[in-house]
Structure 1
Amino acid sequence: MGEKKQIESLINGGEATAGPPLGPALGPLGVNVLQIVNRINELTKSYAGMKVPVKVIVDVDTKDFEVEIGTPTTSALIIKELGIEKGSGTPNTEKVGNLSLEQTLKITEMKIKDTYSKDTKGALKEVLGTMVSMGVTIDNKDPREVQKEIDDNKHEALFKK
């Protein structure tokens, strides 16, 4: 196994191209850039319209490569779930959407491996924090209110799996 080079980038799901940022970074390594781009697009097509972190690891000697796909940002997942273009510029006064607790848990499950939380409860609170900064409510309540309910064990049944 030879020397490995790692290229990390944030791309639009399903829309990677041989142009910047990937092409100029991969070209000098002598790999088939189009083959890598096609693989990235195949792996990220379900994240269409979202920014997705991508890591390409290339064996410089054999020109073999592997592609690792991260999870889109929490805010991108919330935006997709709501079907809106962006969060609120003034989240304390202007609300841009409302998610159900079930929708919020779905986003939490997608992000849990990328969080600093030890469990679903902590990860859910991280997602709720993002919702606060975006002007998104949960079950027509302020996400901070739901965070307090979680602290008070009012949603314990959700975490007993």
Structure 2
Amino acid sequence: MSKVANRLKNVKKAVEKVVHGPTLRTDIKAQGAVAGPPLGPQLGQRGINIAAFCKDFNERTKDIQAGIPLPCRISVRADRSYELVIHQPPTTYFLKQAAGARRGATKAGHDVAGKVTLKHIYEIAKIKSADPPLQEVDLKEICEMVIRTARSCGIQVVRDLDPVEYGEFLAQREEEMNAQDEALAAVREAKLLRTK
């Protein structure tokens, strides 16, 4: 074989082998860890016993309402054991729950998906301060971070909220979202018809 062929063969071997890092960051729904994709392959690539991990995760989240997304950090050791750190749900989840919004705004800054009060912001910040990365951060900074996240989702932060007026706003917003969903479905259907 020529030198070039040997080099290509060595390059091909180097490309085929992928080394995964010792830390895995993923979101898993509470009580919803299953061996199937996408979680199963991610754990299998790192040599973690998938069935034992799923059982452990589901047991640790049994007190949390099923289906809530939980950011997880999994550190894999050399002996294939792992350390699982489960964080609080994402800030966007809490904001949408507090605002009663099904989803965020399609155009943040132009569209309002919902409204929350400063009390909501404070309560969310208190909950998020229990997360390991935020334990040493001042509560005021966490509140500012929650406000920035609310703006990026199209959720407006207000001082007071009239429940009757807000109920009307949510009903109007639901109609707008249904119209957007119908328009998106029509666009998808038109694309499918063009490809046939």
1:119 maps to what in 2?
Answer: 138
CA distance in structure 1 between the aligned counterparts of 2:114 and 2:66, rounded to whole angstroms: 21
Using CA pairs under 8 Å that are at least 6 residues apart, name the structure with larger relative contact order, 1 or 2: 1
Compare 44-53 and 10-19 and name the one that shifted more. Answer: 44-53
- What amino acid does structure 2 have at the position aligned with 1:106? E
Q: Secondary structure at the match of 1:15?
A: coil
- The alpha carbon displacement at 1:103 in A equals 1.7
Q: Secondary structure at the match of 1:106?
A: helix
Q: Secondary structure at the match of 1:138?
A: strand
Q: Secondary structure at the match of 2:126?
A: helix
Cα gap change, 1:41/1:80 in structure 2, threshold over 3 Å: closer, same or farther?
A: farther
State which of 61, 69, 72 in structure 1 corresponds to 2:86. Answer: 69
* Equivalent pairs, count: 137
- Unpaired runs of 5+ residues, structure 2, are 1-20, 161-196
2:188 maps to what in 1?
Answer: none
CA distance in structure 2 between the aligned counterparts of 1:29 and 1:133, rounded to whole angstroms: 34
Cα gap change, 1:140/1:88 in structure 2, threshold over 3 Å: closer, same or farther?
A: farther
Superposition pairs for residues 36-115 of structure 1, below 5 Å?
36-44=53-61, 46=64, 48-61=66-79, 63-112=80-129, 113=131, 114-115=133-134
CA distance in structure 2 between the aligned counterparts of 1:116 and 1:22, rounded to whole angstroms: 28
CA contact (8 A) 2:113 2:155 kept: yes
CA distance in structure 1 between the aligned counterparts of 2:43 and 2:136, rounded to whole angstroms: 34
2:49 maps to what in 1?
Answer: 32
CA contact (8 A) 2:100 2:114 kept: no
Q: Answer yes or no: is 1:133 the counterpart of 2:149.
A: no
**TM-score of the two chains, using structure 2 as the length reference:** 0.56
- The alpha carbon displacement at 1:131 in A equals 1.2
CA contact (8 A) 2:99 2:155 kept: no
Q: Secondary structure at the match of 1:121?
A: helix
CA contact (8 A) 1:13 1:44 kept: yes
Higher helix residue share:
2
Q: CA RMSD in A?
A: 3.0
**TM-score of the two chains, using structure 1 as the length reference:** 0.66
Larger radius of gyration: 2
Could you give the per-residue CA deviations for residues 102-157 of structure 1, whole angstroms, max 9, x where no partner exists? 2211111122344598411121111111111222223357xxxxxxxxxxxxxxxx
- Unpaired runs of 5+ residues, structure 1, are 142-161
Cα gap change, 1:49/1:77 in structure 2, threshold over 3 Å: closer, same or farther?
A: farther
- What amino acid does structure 2 have at the position aligned with 1:39? D
CA distance in structure 2 between the aligned counterparts of 1:55 and 1:120, rounded to whole angstroms: 23
